[in-house]
Amino acid sequence: MATTITHDRLSGIEVFVQAVEAGSFALAAERLNLTRSAVGKSIARLEARLGARLFHRTTRQQSLTDDGQAYYDRCVRALAELQTAEAELDSGRREPQGRLRVSAPLVFGRHCVAPVLRDLALQHPQLQVEISFNDRVVDLIEEGYDLGIRVGDLPDSSSLAARRLGTQTMGIGASPAYIQAHGRPSGVDELMQHAGIIYTHNGVERAWTIKDADGQALQLRLSPRLRLDDLQAIADAAISGAGLAWLPCWMLSHYVRTGELDVLMHGDRLASQEVHAVWPQARYLPSKTRAAIDALAARVPAMLAA
């Protein structure tokens, strides 16, 4: 007699695998858009159906039992086969569909990624786009993202594929009021005499990379008046007259047009950063991911050039 595999059984397997890989029911629930209670009930039903305990649970942690580890290893292989089969079929589709999870840097994501993917979702009613804005470099595979946007150098990786979206040039700006009060620096030595509004992440300050007259790269660290971990907050502080700000030119240009900031240095004198779309390496690229990459590649370069 043939065995019927119901949707509930497959759903229970997916929840179980996510619970193992996330390390907690709460985080698995967040990734699956479920409640923690729903995840717990799904695991309980799976354990009842199998007649085996899959997790050791305490108030502080959870770990797999021996039966749970053996079952997890088989489930991972089975789901990988299903995902490969689905991706092979999906790669031939013209209409992107399903849930697309994207990770992007905070300000760049809001200004340059969200508008593109919003329009893509409007064009394709069966596509659901979910974007997480965070300057942290997420592990796409571990955290279940289909696509990530990276600004800066890419480390070598055999598990990720990438497509270049363009070059982000940088500029140094200050408010007209600040320049009137403190003068306009004309070179590296004069820059060092000014107060800086410095980007910092996880307690690490980001130096400004500037080329001297001989083309040698210099790492400048201005006396920080403010340390902030958000580019928009840095721009706002510069507009208020707090000091010099190191900003992407696509962002700085907006405030130059409004008269709120003035450019002190930009172009070849300053380091630039490459922007890439990255995604988990796979034999077949789902149509939803391909559509997003193509849309970003078509529009982001013009945003960066602005």
Q: What is the mean pLDDT of residues 149-175?
A: 90
Q: Which pTM does this prediction carry?
A: 0.69
Return mean pLDDT, the chain. Answer: 87
Pick the CATH number of 98-165+274-305 from 3.40.190.10, 3.90.1150.200, 3.90.1210.10, 3.40.50.2300: 3.40.190.10
Q: Flag whether pLDDT at 298 surpasses 90.
A: yes
Q: Flag whether pLDDT at 4 surpasses 60.
A: no
Find the range with the poorest average confidence among 10-14, 107-111, 173-177, 201-205. Answer: 10-14
**170's torsion region: left (phi>0), alpha (psi -120 to 50) or beta?**
beta
Question: What's the pLDDT score for residue 150?
Answer: 95
Q: What are the pLDDT digits (tens) for 47-94?
A: 999 999 999 887 677 889 999 899 998 888 888 777 777 666 655 566
CATH code that applies to domain 168-272: 3.40.190.10
In Å, how far from its chain's centre is CA 73? 29
The residue with greater pLDDT, 269 or 240, is: 240
In Å, how far from its chain's centre is CA 196? 27
Q: Flag whether pLDDT at 259 surpasses 50.
A: yes
What is the topology classification, in CATH, of domain 13-91?
Answer: Arc Repressor Mutant, subunit A (1.10.10)
Question: What's the pLDDT score for residue 303?
Answer: 92
Asked whether the beta carbons of 112 and 303 are under 8 A apart, the reply is yes
Question: What's the pLDDT score for residue 91?
Answer: 56
Report how far apart, in Å, the C-alpha atoms of 250 and of each of 11, 112, 255, 300 are.
44, 9, 10, 11
Give the CA angle between residues 260, 263, 264 to the nearest 5°.
130
Question: What's the pLDDT score for residue 1?
Answer: 41
Closest-CA residue to 220 (of 256, 248, 195): 195
Question: What's the pLDDT score for residue 3?
Answer: 46
pLDDT class of 23 with cuts at 50, 70, 90: confident
Orientation angle between helical segments 36-50 and 7-22, nearest 10 degrees:
110
Question: What's the pLDDT score for residue 93?
Answer: 60
Per DSSP, the three-state class of 16 is: helix
pLDDT class of 145 with cuts at 50, 70, 90: very high
Q: What are the pLDDT digits (tens) for 38-52?
A: 998 999 999 999 999
Tell me the percentage of the chain whose pLDDT exceeds 70: 93
The domains of the chain are located at 13-91, 98-165+274-305, 168-272
Question: What's the pLDDT score for residue 214?
Answer: 73
- Fold agreement (98-165+274-305, 168-272): yes
Q: Flag whether pLDDT at 131 surpasses 70.
A: yes
Q: What is the mean pLDDT of residues 131-141?
A: 91
Q: Flag whether pLDDT at 163 surpasses 70.
A: yes
Instruction: Please write down the HEC assignment for all residues of 29-97.
Output: HHHHCCCHHHHHHHHHHHHHHHCCCCEEECCCCEEECHHHHHHHHHHHHHHHHHHHHHHHHHCCCCCCC
> SS3 helix, strand, coil % of the chain, rounded to 5?
45, 25, 30
Q: Flag whether pLDDT at 2 surpasses 60.
A: no
